[in-house]
């Protein structure tokens, strides 16, 4: 097959459309709202979502968002309602003031009563279908129906082809939220086109990332005993839709040209997957590597890594790869992290990657195509100038995504929501007119 063009992304950007774009708040802090955005919270905020030490992407995001808001505005007035998975409880930090039992619908009613009686001024809901109980997470609607304060909902998954239950839940969340936050233009377009949400009710705020330095991989390679290696990296919770097997299938061809290559897969098996089937997917990947004769070139870090270890792992990578199998992925926190670290990136063209890696910020390859992964990896490893240029573009783009800016954008959305809510009469809901 022809080599992918690594100076530009190899797929057209599906987001170039003539319709109006959502509000992009990260650049809008110079506004009449700015006097309210000093280093103290202007009102009491409760964030609902998973929270560390629960091991999942939403828990990491909620924790990082709260850390960022606290760093910018202080922790007073910020609390978390954490969602616990079935038969699990966690040693949460002090900011977690209340907990929801995922499958217990009465827990959602109790939570609403708690929030309504706690002088909370605004709720920020983190929504992902899989973290709430009921069909497609429908239990969360019972909570939203009873809240008396304004709600701003961050949508981590927006589906272009929802099933009946998913459509009902999304329509209800949209109707009962004062504002919706998405992390990509594509998700905003889907909300408008599929669910009929008005564009001026949607704020686009990127997935936050730590403010990492632009550094060469060698120092981190030494820390991880990878010196002298060309490191391909994928990190994140393991599940069969991640497509890691396609990178392993690509390794024999890559190694025929670059014998110094290793592929590092960092992350524990997703807890929900582990509960259903144990470590079967990891076992399959290891068996595949043995069968292809590349077992010694695939390194598994089988654990949920700490932020410090994650920074070292990402820092060690010459190329970061997200080989996900399905187009309908609205956001990838690991991709955002790698971009923020200034990594050369190879990815399949799922929605978030097609948007983030546009304009030469990465190389897109077709789904399920190990040969295309091999071609792109070899070209990037052999062409240091092209790899460095891609890194520079990714890093510069990532500066708008650092957590300090994301926290300010969230606060801007919160303040706007509160101001709009205050202008509504008690008999008229603001939620339908945002």
User: pLDDT tens digits, residue range 15-41?
Assistant: 333 333 345 554 444 444 444 455 678
Query: Does residue 167 carry a pLDDT above 60?
Result: yes
pLDDT of residue 238: 86
Q: Which two tokens stand for residue 109?
A: 């009613």
pLDDT confidence bin for 422, thresholds 50/70/90: confident
Domain check: are 335 and 311 in the same one?
yes
Model pLDDT for residues 89-145, shown as the tens digit of each residue: 899 999 999 999 999 999 999 999 999 999 999 999 999 998 999 999 999 999 999
Within a domain: 6: no
Q: Are residues 391 and 280 in the same domain?
A: yes
Give the model's pLDDT for residue 172: 97
C-alpha to C-alpha distance for 106 and 163, rounded to whole angstroms: 26
C-alpha to C-alpha distance for 185 and 182, rounded to whole angstroms: 8
Taking Cα atoms as reference points, which of 317, 364, 395 lies closest to residue 8?
Answer: 364
Question: Does one domain contain both 155 and 100?
Answer: yes
Same domain, 236 and 136: no
Give the residue from 234, 219, 218, 231 showing the smallest Cα distance to 301: 234
Average pLDDT value for the chain: 88
* Beta partners for residue 182, in sequence order: 204
Same domain, yes or no: 383 and 426: no
Is 306 found in the same domain as 175? no
Let me know if residue 158 belongs to a domain. Answer: yes
Is there a single domain that holds both residue 168 and residue 316? no
What value does the mean pLDDT take over residues 306-312? Answer: 84
Range of the domain at 58: 23-208+403-433
Q: How far apart are CA 370 and CA 232, in angstroms?
A: 14
The whole-angstrom distance between residue 351's C-alpha and the CA centroid of its chain comes to 12
pLDDT, tens only, 174-215 = 999 999 999 999 999 999 999 999 999 999 999 999 999 999
Closest CA to 216 of 304, 106, 315, 99: 315
Q: Are residues 395 and 250 in the same domain?
A: yes
pLDDT confidence bin for 54, thresholds 50/70/90: very high
Let me know if residue 1 belongs to a domain.
Answer: no
Contact indicator for 225, 196 with CB cutoff of 8 Å: no
Q: How many domains does the chain divide into?
A: 2
Q: Write out the two tokens for 8.
A: 């530009």
Is 397 a domain residue?
A: yes
DSSP notation for 313-349: HHHH-SEEEE--S-S-----HHHHHHHHTT-EEEE--
User: Cβ-count burial of 424 within 10 angstroms (0-12 exposed, 13-18 middle, 19+ buried)?
Assistant: middle
| Confidence bin at 6 (pLDDT 50/70/90) | low
User: Looking at the domain assignment, is residue 270 inside a domain?
Assistant: yes
pLDDT digits (tens, 9 = 90+) for 347-357: 999 989 999 99
Instruction: Give me the half-sphere count of Cα atoms (radius 13 Å) on the Cβ side of residue 208.
Output: 24
Mean pLDDT of 61-78: 96
The CATH number of whichever domain residue 84 belongs to comes to 3.40.50.2000
Q: How many CB atoms lie within 10 A of CB 380?
A: 24
**CB atoms < 10 A from the CB of 217, how many?**
22
Residues 255 and 327 in one domain: yes
Residue with tokens 């100076």: 7
Residues 269 and 344 in one domain: yes
390 and 407 co-located in one domain: no
| Inside any domain, residue 128 | yes
| Cα gap 418→103, rounded to integer Å | 31
């Amino acid at each position: 097959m022809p080599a992918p063009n690594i100076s530009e992304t190899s797929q057209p950007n599906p987001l170039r459309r003539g319709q109006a774009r959502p509000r992009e708040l990260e650049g809008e802090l110079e506004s009449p709202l700015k006097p309210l955005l000093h280093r103290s919270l202007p009102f009491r905020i409760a964030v609902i979502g998973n929270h560390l030490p629960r091991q999942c992407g939403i828990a990491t995001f909620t924790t990082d968002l709260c850390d960022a808001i606290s760093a910018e505005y202080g922790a007073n007035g910020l609390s978390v309602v954490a969602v616990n998975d079935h038969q699990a409880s966690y040693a949460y930090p002090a900011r977690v003031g209340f907990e929801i039992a995922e499958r217990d619908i009465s827990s959602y009613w109790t939570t609403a009563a708690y929030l309504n009686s706690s002088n909370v001024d605004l709720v920020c809901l983190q929504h992902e279908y899989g973290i709430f109980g009921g069909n497609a997470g429908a239990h969360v609607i019972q909570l939203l129906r009873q809240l008396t304060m304004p709600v701003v909902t961050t949508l981590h998954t927006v589906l272009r082809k929802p099933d009946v239950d998913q459509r009902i839940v999304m329509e209800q969340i949209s109707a009962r939220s004062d504002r919706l936050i998405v992390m990509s233009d594509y998700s905003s377009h889907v909300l408008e086109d599929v669910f009929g949400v008005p564009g001026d009710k949607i704020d686009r705020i990127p997935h936050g990332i730590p403010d990492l330095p632009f550094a060469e991989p060698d120092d981190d390679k030494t820390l991880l005993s990878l010196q002298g290696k060309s490191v391909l990296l994928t990190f994140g919770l393991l599940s069969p839709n991640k497509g890691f097997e396609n990178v392993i299938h690509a390794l024999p061809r890559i190694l025929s040209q670059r014998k110094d290559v290793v592929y590092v897969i960092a992350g524990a098996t997703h807890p929900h997957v582990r509960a259903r089937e144990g470590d079967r997917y990891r076992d399959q990947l290891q068996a595949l590597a043995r069968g292809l004769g590349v077992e010694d070139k695939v390194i598994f870090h089988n654990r949920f890594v700490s932020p410090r270890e994650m920074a070292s792992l990402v820092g060690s990578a010459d190329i970061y790869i997200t080989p996900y199998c399905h187009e309908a992925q609205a956001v990838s926190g690991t991709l955002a992290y790698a971009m923020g670290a200034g990594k050369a990136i190879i990815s399949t063209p799922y929605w978030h990657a097609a948007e983030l890696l546009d304009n030469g910020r990465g190389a897109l390859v077709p789904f399920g195509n190990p040969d295309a992964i091999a071609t792109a990896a070899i070209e990037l490893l052999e062409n240091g100038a092209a790899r460095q240029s891609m890194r520079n573009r990714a890093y510069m783009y990532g500066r708008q995504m650092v957590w300090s800016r994301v926290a300010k954008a969230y606060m801007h959305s919160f303040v706007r929501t509160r101001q709009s809510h205050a202008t509504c009469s008690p008999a008229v809901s603001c939620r339908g007119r945002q």
